[in-house]
Structure 1
Amino acid sequence: MGDVKRTKLLIIGSGPAGYTAAVYGARAMLNPVLVEGLQPGGQLTITTDVENWPGETAIMGPELMAKLRAQAEHVGTEIISDIVASVDFSKRPFVAVADSGLVIEAETVVIATGASARWLGLPNETRLRGKGVSACATCDGFFFRNKHVAVVGGGNTAVEEAMFLTNFASKVTLIHRRGELRADKTNQARLFANPKVEMVWNATVSDVRGEDGVSAIELTDTQTGAVRALDVDGLFVAIGHDPATQIFKGQLRMDEEGYILVEPGTPRTDVPGVFAAGDVTDKLYRQAVTAAGMGCMAALEAERFLAHGAAHETREAA
């Protein structure tokens, strides 16, 4: 066993949820320990302009995360650059073991490991990410006013993203690899009734073209193999997200997609003293500001849990 560190509050993961939980936890004198994880700062570190963060007209994603991290450290959070490899939530104190061998014993835990968008796996898709390629219409739709954008996917997320984009774009082309959508019928009816939406059936996106921004996408017909170009100004990939919850399986209740289930309106999991915040439990909003709000809630819940637990132990001792 490696070195052992003890804390009242362990935060697993960074990003808006983790750093905000750290700020509130530190201000509550819980002396939190935050383990950053594989991608310190979360998905915003690979985002360019952020224009929907309160108080910032425009800020780069990595800069915003650096500010949040600095604030968490300033108020007293101990930040560890490591990855939690395993956890044991069967009894308190909870135990987390990091890749380095460090063992952390914690009275409460906030899980803020986030979720990552599924991508198509195209080389130019990665190169043009943030330059016309996106996985979040709510985040980036504003930048495509009066432009032609494409959405790839066939489920409710893809349909909802396409419908949202019609508020800004002059035309939205939804591309699906099959001949019918998986989205529910109500969403499909709304989509098909919108004059700004055009469907491309039985096609996959096989490449993204452009130098400093998206200029076109390459479509491959799934039935004939024929390849053609479609001129667009942006591509939104809406084929789902994967929550980073692998190490918590068997420890916490999750839904069929691996998102951690919490008590409605709270960050409480089914294990008292363990809380979840941000995209690891939220598959509806997926916004930095909502993740931060949930991080705040989780830290406040941890503080209350510890206060009530201490009061109970005092009464039992008497």
Structure 2
Amino acid sequence: MAEIEKVHCLIIGSGPAGYTAAIYASRANLKPVLYQGLQPGGQLTITTDVENYPGYPEGIMGPQMMIDFEKQAQRMGADIRWGMATKVDFTNRPYKVEIDEEKWIEADSVIIATGASAKWLGLPSEQRLNGHGVSACAVCDGFFFKNQEVAIVGAGDTACEEALYLSKLCSTVHMLVRRDEMRASKVMQQRVFNTPNIKVYWNTDTLEVLGENKVDAIKVVNNHTNEETTIPVKAFFVAIGHQPNSDLFKGWLDMDEAGYLITQPGTSKTNIEGVFACGDVQDKIYRQAVTAAGSGCTAALDAERYLGALEHAHMEQQQATA
């Protein structure tokens, strides 16, 4: 086996949840080691303005916010490293985590903050204009398109919720549904149909997002008639779901059918003692920077209590055998 390093508290992932866990764990003297993963800073690095995080009255750019989080964690003493967890072995404590397929870490506790990734349609223009009118979060970015026309693609409860949210801010919401029906619950569909400024397009696929440096329009096609239409809009929201970054933990940790890690209610505890989960990898409801940061704090406090209890038990054992 390759080189093995022993750590007290290992944090996997570096969005608001991971960095906040690192800040709290450092202050509790857990000497955390954090591996940033494939996308340091997580989903916030593909957002532009963040205006809904408390403490930034003028707003802040997503990437800058994550740099601030990282600097704060480092100032507290967190050991932040570039690298990706590629395999885990949670059979016994200390738990083993492989980094970059080359070295193994043995950790007394593990905090998982690997986040989730938005699902995209896969259009080159969608990626090119991401952060410039293309967004996967209406709650984050809808505010910037007040009184303007926007489009949203999706057919589930989340898409309906986001369309309704946008309808309160925007003049018209063009909702694109690929099939002739929605997957959303009947009650959510009804709310959409009852909202006069949401226009639903059935059997509609998006061909392209148009615009040079910002969204100007979308080109769509009716997949029954093959008729193409251009709809002028200022923003294009993709609400076709998120994929939690949890594949690494399959077979070890309990997860729901979508792959979100299951934690004990009111805690960050997974089904394995000493392994904690926080942020979007276990939260499919709120998915905000502020809720992720809060759950990162919870995970660090849970880890601190767990490690404290272990230490206490170890000392008692030593006294008993002395």
With structure 1 as the length reference, what TM-score do the two structures score?
A: 0.98
Pairwise CA RMSD of aligned residues? 1.0
The Cα of 1:172 is off from its aligned counterpart by 0.8
Alignment of 1:267-306 (within 5 A): 267-306=268-307
Alignment of 1:230-245 (within 5 A): 230-245=231-246
Question: CA contact under 8 A between 2:86 and 2:101: conserved in structure 1?
Answer: no
Other-structure match for 2:310: 309
Q: For residues 50 and 189 of structure 1, what CA distance do their matches in structure 2 show?
A: 31
Question: CA contact under 8 A between 2:110 and 2:275: conserved in structure 1?
Answer: yes
Other-structure match for 1:90: 91
Question: CA contact under 8 A between 1:268 and 1:274: conserved in structure 2?
Answer: yes
Aligned partner of 1:110: which letter? Answer: I
The Cα of 1:265 is off from its aligned counterpart by 1.6
When structure 1 is superposed on structure 2, of 121-130 and 248-257 the one drifting more is: 121-130
Q: For residues 51 and 288 of structure 1, what CA distance do their matches in structure 2 show?
A: 11
Give structure 1 stretches of 5+ with no counterpart.
none
Aligned partner of 1:143: which letter? Answer: F
Other-structure match for 1:52: 52
Please state if 1:179 is matched with 2:170: no
Residue 37 of structure 1 aligns to a residue whose secondary structure is: coil
Residue 189 of structure 1 aligns to a residue whose secondary structure is: helix
Other-structure match for 1:66: 67
The Cα of 1:100 is off from its aligned counterpart by 5.0
Q: For residues 102 and 287 of structure 1, what CA distance do their matches in structure 2 show?
A: 33
Q: For residues 67 and 151 of structure 1, what CA distance do their matches in structure 2 show?
A: 32
Give structure 2 stretches of 5+ with no counterpart.
none
Other-structure match for 1:151: 152
The Cα of 1:131 is off from its aligned counterpart by 1.0
Please state if 1:190 is matched with 2:214: no
Please state if 1:265 is matched with 2:266: yes
Other-structure match for 1:23: 23
Deviations 1:35-74 (A, max 9, x none): 1101111111111111111111211111111111111111
Q: For residues 227 and 171 of structure 2, what CA distance do their matches in structure 1 show?
A: 27
Other-structure match for 1:6: 6
Q: For residues 221 and 255 of structure 1, what CA distance do their matches in structure 2 show?
A: 34
Question: CA contact under 8 A between 1:82 and 1:100: conserved in structure 2?
Answer: no
Residue 301 of structure 2 aligns to a residue whose secondary structure is: helix
With structure 2 as the length reference, what TM-score do the two structures score?
A: 0.97
Please state if 1:132 is matched with 2:133: yes
Residue 306 of structure 2 aligns to a residue whose secondary structure is: helix
Q: For residues 119 and 153 of structure 1, what CA distance do their matches in structure 2 show?
A: 11
The Cα of 1:113 is off from its aligned counterpart by 0.4
Q: For residues 76 and 170 of structure 1, what CA distance do their matches in structure 2 show?
A: 48
Other-structure match for 1:34: 34
Residue 5 of structure 1 aligns to a residue whose secondary structure is: strand
- Counting aligned pairs with the same residue, the percent is 53
How many equivalent residue pairs?
A: 318
Aligned partner of 1:30: which letter? Answer: L
The Cα of 1:123 is off from its aligned counterpart by 1.0
Residue 181 of structure 1 aligns to a residue whose secondary structure is: coil
Q: For residues 123 and 174 of structure 1, what CA distance do their matches in structure 2 show?
A: 21
- Runs of 4+ in structure 1 deviating by more than 6 angstroms, as ranges, are none
The Cα of 1:99 is off from its aligned counterpart by 1.1
Q: For residues 63 and 189 of structure 1, what CA distance do their matches in structure 2 show?
A: 40
Residue 21 of structure 1 aligns to a residue whose secondary structure is: helix
Question: CA contact under 8 A between 1:15 and 1:65: conserved in structure 2?
Answer: yes
Q: For residues 269 and 64 of structure 1, what CA distance do their matches in structure 2 show?
A: 29
Deviations 1:186-220 (A, max 9, x none): 11111111111111000111100011211110101
Q: For residues 126 and 299 of structure 2, what CA distance do their matches in structure 1 show?
A: 35
Q: For residues 282 and 87 of structure 2, what CA distance do their matches in structure 1 show?
A: 19
Question: CA contact under 8 A between 2:87 and 2:101: conserved in structure 1?
Answer: no
Residue 160 of structure 2 aligns to a residue whose secondary structure is: helix
